[in-house]
Amino acid sequence: MSKNIFLPLSLIILGYGFWMSPNFKDISAGVAIFLFGMLSLEQGFKAFSGGFLDKILKNSTDKLYKSIGFGIVSTSIMQSSSLVSILTISFLSAGLIGLSQGIGIVFGANLGTTTGAWLVAGYGLKINIASYAMPMLVFGIVFIFQKSASLKGVGYILTGLGFLFLGIHYMKEGFEAFKATIDLSAYAVDGYKGLFLFTLVGIFATVIMQSSHATLVLIITALSAGQISYENALALAIGANVGTTITAILGAMSSNIEGKRLAAAHLIFNLVTGLIAIVFIYQIIYLVDQSAMFLNIAQDDYTLKLAIFHTIFNTIGVVVFLETTLKQKKSVDEIGYDSVKYLNDSVLEFPQTSMGALIRETKHLYENAFEIIAHGLNLRRSKIVSSMEIDEVVKEKHARRYINIEDFYNKKIKDIYSEIITFSTRAQVNMQAQDIENLYKLKLANREIVEAIKNTKHLQKNIIKFSSHPNKYIQQQYLQIKKSLAELLRNINIIATTDEEDVIILLLSKVRINTQKNDLLANGTLDELIRNKNITNQMATSLMNDSVYLYNIRNNLCNMAETLFVQISGELKHIEDEMHITQSEIEEILEKKD
Amino acid sequence: MGVKKFIQNVLESLKITDFEITSKKKSLKALLSKLKKKRVDILKELQKEPSDKQKTELNEELELISLHIKKGKKRLEELKRS
C-alpha cells in the first residue's frame, strides 16, 4: 500500500516544488543529472572490466599502501576527493576493485585533498573542474557512436564525467540563494561548544556548495577578514571534511551494495577523524604551531597554518584507520539476516503465481548459496562469473580469512529454506497433479542447495589446512578441488543466464562428465599419490573424504541447475528429459579417453 | 459431463490433442539445428591447427555435440512415428 502511494506522492511533491521554487528545480535537476552520470560512468567502466583498466587498477591497488597512494595521487591531480570517491564507487560497482581496495583509495583521497588546502592557502588557486563538462559530453557522445567496444566505453566514461560535473554545477546554482545567507561571524562562539557548532556549519556549507574546496576558500576569506577565530576556522575545516562525503553518498544511491558500503565507510572514516580532531584540537594546534615554526611560516599566517592543520588531522585519521582497517572492513562486511523476497499470501490464490514465486525464491536461495560457497572457498564471485582464466580465479583471494560457513548458513539460508518448504505445503492445496510433481522437484532442488552448502562446510576445513601446505602434492590436489568448484559455479551461472538451448544442454553434459572425471577415487589419482608415497596416510584419508564431498557438491548443484533452470522454468522443459546424458553414456565417453 | 471430459472433447474436435508432441518436435528441431551449426563451427576451428590443449577441448566438445545430435535425431524419429 505504502509503496503504491510513494511514487505518485513523490512526483506530486517534486512538481509542487518545481512550481514554487526555481532553485529547488535546479537542485533536483542537478541530482538527477548527477545520478545519470553515475550510471553512464559505471557502464563505461564495465566495458573495460577484465581488460586494460582492470590490470592497471589491480596492480595499483592490490596492497593497502598502494591503494592509499593511488587515492593521494589521483585526488592531487583531479583536485576533488568527491570525484575520486565517486569514481571508486563506480569501479566497485563494475567489479573492477574490491571493497578493501576502495577503502584504501578513499583514505588516500582524504590525504590527497590536503594538497588542495595548500594550493588554496598558498596560492589562492581553485581549479574549476565543471568547466570541462561540455567538451566531455560532446567528445563522449562522439565516442559512443563508434563501433569499437573500447571507444564506446571511453565515450560512456566521458559522458558520465560530463554529467557528473554538470549535475554538481546545477546543484551549486540551485544553492546559490542559500549561500548568500551564510554569515559565519553570526555564529562565533568560543570553546568546545563553538568547535562543534562550527563543525556543523562546515558540514552544512559543504553539503550546500558540493565542494570542500569552496568551503575552504570561504573559511580562508572569513579568517582573513577576521569574521571568525582561528579555532573556529579549524572546526569549519573539520566540518568540510565530513560534509564532502555527501557527494559519495549521493553517488552510491545508484550503485550496488558494495558501493553503498564504501560510501558508509567513507562517512565513518571522516566522522571519526573529525571527532578525533575535535577532542584533541588543542594538542593538534600545538603540533601545527611547532610545524609552522619548523617550516618558517609566520605565527600569524593563519591560512597556511590552516593547511598544515588540514594535513595533520587527515594524516592522524589515516594512521588511526590503518590500524583498524581490517576490523572496520569486517564491520561493514558484517552479514545480516536475509529473509524471503517473493513469498506472501497474495500469490497463494493461483497455482501459477505461487509456483512462480517459489521458483524466484529458490533462485534467491541459490544466489545466497553461490555467495557462501564462493566465499567459503575464499573465491571472489565477480571473478568466477567473469571471463578470467580459472587458474587465475583461484589465485585471487576474496578476503584474508575464510568465512564462517555455519554463520552464513544460519543467517542467509536456514530461514529462507524453511519458509520455502512451509509455503510449498500451503501452495500444494490448490495445485493439479502436474504442478505438484514440479513442486516436488523444486523442493528437491532446494534440498540440493542446502546439501551443497553443508558439504562445502566439511570441505572447507581441509582446504584451509592444505591450500598452503608445504607438501606440494597435497596442496596441488586441494587447489584442483577449488578450481573444479569455481568452474562448476561459472558453468551454472552461464546455464542460469543464457537463452541458448544448445549451450545449456552441452554445459549440463560437460558438468556431469567433469564430475566423474574429477572423482579422485575413480580416476586413480589417489592410488597413485599413495603408491608413490607423495602424501601421508593421514593426508590420503582427508583427500579421500574430501573427494566424496566434492563429488557430492558437484552432483547437488548440477541436479539443482537441471531442475531450476531447465526442467521447471527454462525453454527446454519439454525436451530436457530426452536430451539428458545418461550414466552409461558418461562412462562410455570416459572409457574412450582412457 | 465433467470439466476434464469437456476439455478433452473440445481438444479432439479441434484436432489439437497432439499439441505436446508438436511443441516437442519443434523444440527438438530448433535444438538440432543449433547443435549442427555448432558442430560445423568446431570443425572449422579444428582446421585452423589449434594448440594441443585447445584441440583436446574442441574434440571433447565435438564428441558431446555428436552424441546429442544422435540422441535428438533418434527422439525426433520416434515422435514422427507416433
The dihedral built from the CA positions of residue A51, A511, A395 and A403, taken in this order, carries a sign that is positive
| CA distance, residue B48 to nearest chain A CA (Å) | 22
The contacts of residue A528 (CB under 8 Å, 6+ apart) are A534
The DSSP code sequence of A275-299 is HHHHHTHHHHHHHHHHHHHHTT--T
Chain B residues with CB-CB distance to A under 8 A? 20, 23-24, 27-28, 30-31, 34-35, 38, 60-61, 63-65, 67-68, 71-72, 75
Query: Environment class of residue A335 by beta-carbon count within 10 Å: exposed (0-12), middle (13-18) or buried (19+)?
Result: middle
In this complex, do B23 and A574 lie within 8 Å of one another by their Cβ atoms?
yes
Q: What is the pLDDT of residues B27-43, one digit of tens each?
A: 888 889 999 999 999 99
| CA distance, residue A425 to nearest chain B CA (Å) | 25
Query: Which pLDDT score, from 0 to 100, does residue A569 have?
Result: 67
Chain B residues whose beta carbon lies within 8 Å of the beta carbon of residue A507: none
Q: How does residue A302 score in pLDDT terms, banded at 50, 70 and 90? A: confident
Q: Which of B28, B64, B72 sits opposite A509 (nearest CB)?
A: B64
Q: Which of B34, B63, B67 sits opposite A502 (nearest CB)?
A: B34
- With left for phi above 0 and alpha for psi between -120 and 50, is residue A98 left, alpha or beta? beta
| CA distance, residue B3 to nearest chain A CA (Å) | 14
Q: What is the pLDDT of residues A84-96, one digit of tens each?
A: 888 888 777 666 6
What is the total residue count of chain A?
A: 594
Taking one residue from A and the other from B, the number of pairs with CB-CB distance under 8 angstroms is 53
Nearest CA in chain B to A514: B60
Chain B residues whose beta carbon lies within 8 Å of the beta carbon of residue A571: 27
Instruction: Quote the CA–CA distance of B79 and A247 in Å, as a whole number.
Output: 63
Nearest CA in chain A to B71: A579
Chain A residues with CB-CB distance to B under 8 A? 500-502, 505-506, 509-510, 513, 571-572, 574-575, 578-579, 581, 585, 589, 592
Nearest CA in chain A to B62: A506
Place of cell 536475509: A338
pTM, to two decimals: 0.52
Instruction: Quote the CA–CA distance of A172 and A247 in Å, as a whole number.
Output: 12
Chain A residues whose beta carbon lies within 8 Å of the beta carbon of residue B67: 509, 581, 585, 589
Q: How does residue A125 score in pLDDT terms, banded at 50, 70 and 90? A: very low
Q: Which of A510, A575, A589 sits opposite B31 (nearest CB)?
A: A575
Whether A452 contacts A553, CB under 8 Å: yes
In this complex, do B63 and A589 lie within 8 Å of one another by their Cβ atoms?
yes
Chain A residues whose beta carbon lies within 8 Å of the beta carbon of residue B27: 501, 571-572, 574-575
Q: What is the pLDDT of residues A40-80, one digit of tens each?
A: 877 777 666 555 565 677 677 777 788 888 888 887 776 67
Share of chain A above pLDDT 90, in %: 16
In this complex, do B27 and A585 lie within 8 Å of one another by their Cβ atoms?
no
Instruction: Quote the CA–CA distance of A551 and A561 in Å, as a whole number.
Output: 15
C-alpha cell at A259: 558501493
In this complex, do A509 and B27 lie within 8 Å of one another by their Cβ atoms?
no
Q: How many CB atoms lie within 10 A of CB B15?
A: 8
The contacts of residue A358 (CB under 8 Å, 6+ apart) are A342, A343, A420, A423, A424, A427, A439, A442
Nearest one of A184, A187, A196, A185 to A277, comparing CA atoms: A196
C-alpha cell at A444: 528437491
C-alpha cell at A156: 560512456
In this complex, do B68 and A585 lie within 8 Å of one another by their Cβ atoms?
no
| Position with higher pLDDT, A176 vs A496 | A496
Query: Which pLDDT score, from 0 to 100, does residue A331 have?
Result: 46
- When scoring B18, B20, B71 by the number of chain A Cβ atoms within 10 A, the one with the most, hence best to mutate, is B71
| Position with higher pLDDT, A168 vs A29 | A29
In this complex, do A589 and B67 lie within 8 Å of one another by their Cβ atoms?
yes
- From residue A489, give the alpha-carbon distance in Å to each of A95, A478, A580: 17, 17, 20
Instruction: Quote the CA–CA distance of A115 and A314 in Å, as a whole number.
Output: 11
Chain A residues whose beta carbon lies within 8 Å of the beta carbon of residue B30: 501
Place of cell 595548500: A118
Q: What is the pLDDT of residues A267-278, one digit of tens each?
A: 888 888 888 888
CA A546, chain centre distance (Å): 32
C-alpha cell at A411: 543467517
Helix H, strand E, coil C: the string for A4-58 is HHHHHHHHHHHHHHHHHCHHHHHHHHHHHHHHHHHHHHHHHHHCCCCCHHHHHHH
Q: Which of B34, B63, B65 sits opposite A501 (nearest CB)?
A: B34
The contacts of residue A167 (CB under 8 Å, 6+ apart) are A30, A31, A32, A33, A34, A35, A36, A37
In this complex, do A578 and B61 lie within 8 Å of one another by their Cβ atoms?
no
Chain B residues whose beta carbon lies within 8 Å of the beta carbon of residue A501: 27, 30-31, 34
Q: Which of A502, A575, A592 sits opposite B24 (nearest CB)?
A: A575
Q: What is the pLDDT of residues A468-496, one digit of tens each?
A: 888 999 999 999 999 999 999 999 999 88
Q: How does residue A179 score in pLDDT terms, banded at 50, 70 and 90? A: low
Nearest CA in chain A to B19: A574
Q: What is the mean predicted confidence (pLDDT) over A400-414? A: 84
Q: Is the pLDDT of residue B61 over 70?
A: yes
Query: Which pLDDT score, from 0 to 100, does residue A549 have?
Result: 93
| CA distance, residue B72 to nearest chain A CA (Å) | 7
Q: What is the pLDDT of residues A212-270, one digit of tens each?
A: 766 776 677 667 666 677 888 888 888 888 888 888 888 787 666 777 888 888 888 88
Q: What is the mean predicted confidence (pLDDT) over A454-475? A: 90
Query: Which pLDDT score, from 0 to 100, does residue A464 have?
Result: 87
Query: Which pLDDT score, from 0 to 100, does residue A181 have?
Result: 58
In this complex, do A572 and B20 lie within 8 Å of one another by their Cβ atoms?
no
- When scoring A505, A517, A567 by the number of chain B Cβ atoms within 10 A, the one with the most, hence best to mutate, is A505
DSSP A471: -
Helix (H) or strand (E) holding A79: none
Share of chain A above pLDDT 70, in %: 83
Whether A577 contacts A563, CB under 8 Å: no
In this complex, do B64 and A572 lie within 8 Å of one another by their Cβ atoms?
no
In this complex, do A574 and B20 lie within 8 Å of one another by their Cβ atoms?
yes
Chain B residues whose beta carbon lies within 8 Å of the beta carbon of residue A509: 64, 67-68
Chain B residues whose beta carbon lies within 8 Å of the beta carbon of residue A574: 20, 23-24, 27
Query: Which pLDDT score, from 0 to 100, does residue A139 have?
Result: 93
Nearest CA in chain B to A572: B27
| Mean of per-residue pLDDT scores for chain A | 81
In this complex, do A506 and B61 lie within 8 Å of one another by their Cβ atoms?
yes
Q: Which of A500, A571, A579 sits opposite B71 (nearest CB)?
A: A579
Predicted complex: ipTM over 0.85: no
The contacts of residue A108 (CB under 8 Å, 6+ apart) are A67, A68, A69, A70, A71, A72, A73, A74, A75, A318
Q: How does residue A332 score in pLDDT terms, banded at 50, 70 and 90? A: very low
Place of cell 551449426: B37
C-alpha cell at A504: 545449456
Instruction: Quote the CA–CA distance of A363 and A570 in Å, as a whole number.
Output: 13
Alpha helices in A148-190 (DSSP H): 149-179
Chain A residues whose beta carbon lies within 8 Å of the beta carbon of residue B64: 506, 509-510, 513, 589
Q: What is the pLDDT of residues A135-160, one digit of tens each?
A: 989 999 999 888 787 788 888 888 98
Instruction: Quote the CA–CA distance of B32 and B71 in Å, as a whole number.
Output: 10
Q: Is the pLDDT of residue A106 over 50?
A: yes
